[in-house]
Amino acid sequence: MSAHALPPLEPQLRHNAKRTRAVFASCPDDSITDEERSVRLRLAVKINDEFRQFKELPPALLSQQGAIGPARPKETRKMITANGDAETSRMIAKIDNTPVAQPSTFSSTKLSHALALHKTTRTIKPTYHPPWKLVRVISGHLGWVRSVAVEPGNKWFATGAGDRVIKIWDLASGELKLSLTGHISTVRGLAVSPRHPYLFSCGEDKMVKCWDLESNKVIRHYHGHLSGVYAMDLHPTLDVLVTCGRDASARVWDMRTKANIHTLTGHGGTVADVKCQESDPQVITGSMDSTVRLWDLAAGKTMVTLTHHKKSIRALAIHPTEYSFASGSAGGNNIKKWKCPEGSFVFNFSGHNAIINTLSVNAEGVFFSGGDNGTLTFWDYNTGTPFQNLDDVPQPGSLEAEAGVFCSTFDMTGTRLITGGADKTIKVYAEQSR
C-alpha cells in the first residue's frame, strides 16, 4: 500500500490554533494574533453592553451635579482613527455621550454672601457700661454666706449662711436689723414675696420654711424633700413656690395650703438652681447632671432638656425683660445664653475660667458671674463681651483660699450688686458715676 504524503503541518496549525488560543489563552506561535479591526469592534460592543445604563446619571443625582474642574472644550471631538478604519472609530465615539454639566447648587455668589453675613454677625458693638467698684463690706455671719435676697421695696435684704442664721440688713446703711434662727443646717436659699409679708428659706436640713415678717416667726413648713434643699424661687404671678435640691428633684408647692403640687423628676443629679418666670417655660432647673431642663408647670413634665454643658450646672439667671436666661457650670465655655421659650442656644460667654457659683443680670444688661476661686466678671449681656474683671479680696484674718463667691443679686434698681462669700462677709458693689 503506497503511503500518501501528509499535508504540510504549518498551514493546518495556523488555521486551528486561533480557535484553540481562544479556549486555552496560549499559543505556540506569537505571530498568530487577532486582527486589529475585530479587536476594536469587540471592544466597542463590550463598552456598549456594559456601560449603556450609565451614560447618564439618574435625574435626582443629575440635579445635584455641579461643574467640577475646568469645562471641556465645546468643539466636536476628533474621531480616533487607526489604519483609516473610520467606521469602528465612529462606533466608539457614538458610545461616549457625556452628561451635560449642570450649574452648581452651591454657587460662589451664595458663598460670598454667607461669608459677608458671618463677618457682620459678630461685630456688634457692646453697650457701654460704667465700671463697678466695691463700696461696702458687711461682716456678721459666722459661716459661709450661701444665699441672698432683696425685698421688693428695696429697703432691706436678707442673707443666709453656714452658721444656720438668716440675717436681715438695711440696704442703705448696711446695719443689721434682725437675726432669724430656726434652721439646723446651712441656709442655702432665700426668697421674699412681692405680694405677701413673707420670707421663704430653705437649707441643707431638708426644711423649707415660710416666715411671717410681721411677727418674725415661722408660720409654715413645706415637707417632702428627701435631702438638702439647695435653691428656691417664687413664681412672679402665682402663689407658688419652687424648691430644688440634692434629691435630684424640684418641688412645686402651694404657698398657702403647703401642698406639694408637683414633684419635677428627671434630673440624674443634685438640682443646684431653679428659676421661675411668668411665661413658658415657667420653671427652669440646672443640675449637677450637667443638663438644664425647661418644665411645663401645668403638666409637671419636662418640655426640653438642654445638654450643651459638659460639667455640673450651679447657677441660672433669668433676664428681667428680655425673655432669655443664662446658665453657669464648672467646665470650659461654662456660661451659656439661651432664648425662651424653646431654649435655643444663643452664644457662650467665654473667658471666665472658674467654677461658676452664681449669676445675676439686671435690666440694663449688666451680667455678673462669680467664681469659686474669687474671680468676678461683669459682662454685656447682649453681646457676651466682658467689660470688667475683679478679684474678691478676702476680709483680714481669712485664708487666701476663702475668696470664693457663693451668691449674688442686684437690688431692685439694678445699680447695686450684693454678693456673699467664703470669707463670711457680704460685699456690696455699685456702678461708678460716669
Q: How far is residue 194's CA from residue 63's CA, in Å, rounded to a whole number? A: 63
- The answer to whether position 72 is within a domain reads no
pLDDT at 92 over 70: no
- The answer to whether position 115 is within a domain reads no
Count the domains in the chain: 1
pLDDT of residue 84: 52
- The answer to whether position 364 is within a domain reads yes
- pLDDT band, very low/low/confident/very high, at 30 (cuts 50, 70, 90): low
- The answer to whether position 174 is within a domain reads yes
Sheet holding 208-212, edge to edge: 187-192, 198-203, 208-212, 217-221
CATH number of the domain residue 281 falls in: 2.130.10.10
Write the pLDDT tens digit of every residue in 216-236: 999 999 999 999 999 999 999
Q: How far is residue 239's CA from residue 261's CA, in Å, rounded to a whole number? A: 12
Its domain, for residue 271, covers 133-431
**Could you tell me if 428 and 418 are in contact, meaning their C-beta atoms sit under 8 angstroms apart?**
yes
pLDDT at 3 over 60: no
- The answer to whether position 32 is within a domain reads no
- The answer to whether position 47 is within a domain reads no
Positive/negative CA dihedral, 320, 323, 324, 325: positive
pLDDT of residue 334: 92
Write the pLDDT tens digit of every residue in 280-315: 899 999 999 999 999 999 999 999 999 999 999 999
- The answer to whether position 42 is within a domain reads no
The better pLDDT of the pair 11, 71 is held by 11
What's the 3-state SS for the chain?
A: CCCCCCCCHHHHHHHHHHHHHHHHCCCCCCCCCCCHHHHHHHHHHHHHHHHHHHCCCCHHHHHHCCCCCCCCCCCCCCCCCCCCCHHHHHHHHHHCCCCCCCCCCCCHHHHHHHHHHHHHHCCCCCCCCCCEEEEEEEECCCCCEEEEEECCCCCEEEEEECCCEEEEEECCCCCEEEEEECCCCCEEEEEECCCCCEEEEEECCCCEEEEECCCCEEEEECCCCCCCEEEEEECCCCCEEEEEECCCEEEEEECCCCCEEEEEECCCCCEEEEEECCCCCCEEEEECCCCEEEEECCCCEEEEEECCCCCCEEEEEECCCCCEEEEEECCCCCEEEEECCCCEEEEEECCCCCCEEEEEECCCCEEEEEECCCEEEEEECCCCEEEEEEECCCCCCCCHHHCCEEEEEECCCCCEEEEEECCCEEEEEEECCC
> Model pTM?
0.72
Q: What is the mean pLDDT of residues 399-412?
A: 89
- The answer to whether position 221 is within a domain reads yes
Mean pLDDT of the chain: 86
The grid cell for 415 is 445699680
Q: 427 phi and psi, to 5 degrees?
A: -115, 140
Name residue 135's amino acid: V
Q: How far is residue 57's CA from residue 336's CA, in Å, rounded to a whole number? A: 47
Q: How far is residue 90's CA from residue 77's CA, in Å, rounded to a whole number? A: 11
Q: What is the mean pLDDT of residues 29-40?
A: 73
Q: What is the mean pLDDT of residues 74-78?
A: 54
